[in-house]
Amino acid sequence: MLKIKLTPTGKRNHRQYRIVVANDREKLTGNIIEHLGHFDPHAATDQVKLNRDLYQSWLAKGALPTSTVKALVAKSQMVSPSNH
């Protein structure tokens, strides 16, 4: 099953995350199918950058977002409805 999930990048105490499509049994830093965007929890503004067209197309193909990704996307849509 395909999942839309976060993969960690960056330094140990300053993590950043990529929003990717990957197999649900794949390791966090394992093989990914497509990179959809990124999330920086330390940024002051505009923390989530996401290609919404790709995100919607992967949802239509049956990929399921994790609860964290779903919450981040909902929060980013409330803040700024423009495409990133």
Domain definitions of the chain by residue range: 2-79
Here the tokens at position 53 are 């067209």
Q: Which fold has domain 2-79?
A: S16 Ribosomal Protein; Chain: A; (3.30.1320)
Spatial contact of 2 and 65, defined as CB atoms under 8 Å apart: no
Residue partners of 24: CB distance under 8 A and separation at least 6: 1, 2, 3, 5
Q: What percent of the chain has pLDDT over 70?
A: 90
For position 51, what pLDDT does the model report?
92
- Give me the mean pLDDT over the 68-73 stretch: 92
- Selection from 53, 44, 50 nearest residue 70 by Cα: 50
pLDDT digits (tens, 9 = 90+) for 39-66: 999 887 768 899 999 999 999 999 999 9
For position 61, what pLDDT does the model report?
95
Helical spans, DSSP H, in the chain: 52-60, 67-79
Here the tokens at position 5 are 């999930």
Q: What percent of the chain has pLDDT over 90?
A: 60
Examine the pLDDT at 73 and tell me if it is beyond 70. Answer: yes
Spatial contact of 39 and 47, defined as CB atoms under 8 Å apart: yes
- Give me the mean pLDDT over the 11-39 stretch: 89
